[in-house]
Amino acid sequence: MIDFNFVKRGILDFFDKYDERKIRFFGIGEPTVAFPLMKKIREWVHETTDGDCWFELQTNGYFSPSVADWIGKNIDMVWISCDGPPDIQNFYRPTKHGTQSAEIVEKNIRFLASQNLTLGCRATIGAKNIDRQPEMIDYFSGLGVKVIMSDPMFAAVKKEGEETNTLEEINLINYADNFLVARKVAKVRVFSTEVSLQLISTNKQSISAELVFRILISQPMDM
């Protein structure tokens, strides 16, 4: 787990160099497994900036009601990784014990959607949900979500001597076609949708950047 003093030094260096006051909690695994440290960092930054700081959390949404309550009161933007209705979510994101995660994630999405923050859901699109993207708009809408982002699933990079697992490698044209249909549905639902797949020509390039101090708060860990 990351050292608190190391985090403080990094944040102070960032604040000294840039005017932005934005902090993002994320992890290779799940940042809320280090919840006490996350709270400690947030409280210290809040005091250091006299309350003038924006906080973001990227999470799998699998946490207790007490953690959800704290997030609702202390985080400005939350991205929850959720791949769609329960049958999809439970297939792609079971807990580390092999149990279902959808019920708890749904509950936390509904709760955070009712709080004074910006809530978005990030869906990874694989073979199981590529044709269900329009349906997923209605699903997330029913949970109170108004911002959605999707990422296509790619085959894992193989190690030397290993065969590449292409089971979930999807056709990107099929992904894009279904995304465009889903986007039309989203417009009717007054949604904001994003796609992470960016097509950049050799003659014209559009680049957007946001200054955010990102805290990789935890070691890899499943739900």
Query: Domain with 34 in it: what CATH number?
Result: 3.80.30.10
Residue 217 within a domain: no
Residue 125 within a domain: yes
Count CA atoms within 13 Å of residue 67 on its CB side: 21
What does the pLDDT read at residue 186?
85
Residue 58 within a domain: yes
Question: What beta strand segments (E) does the chain contain?
Answer: 22-26, 54-59, 77-81, 118-125, 147-152, 192-195, 213-216
Structural domains of the chain, count: 1
Longest dimension (CA), the chain: 54
Residue 79 within a domain: yes
Supply the pTM of this predicted model: 0.84
Whose tokens are 């007054």? That residue is: 190
Whole-angstrom Cα Rg for the chain: 19
Ranges of the chain with pLDDT below 50: 196-210, 219-221
Specify the DSSP class assigned to residue 185: H
Residue 37 within a domain: yes
State which residues form the domain around 114: 4-155+167-196
Residue 89 within a domain: yes
The predicted-structure confidence for 53-100, as pLDDT tens digits, reads as follows 999 999 999 999 999 999 999 999 999 999 999 999 999 999 999 999
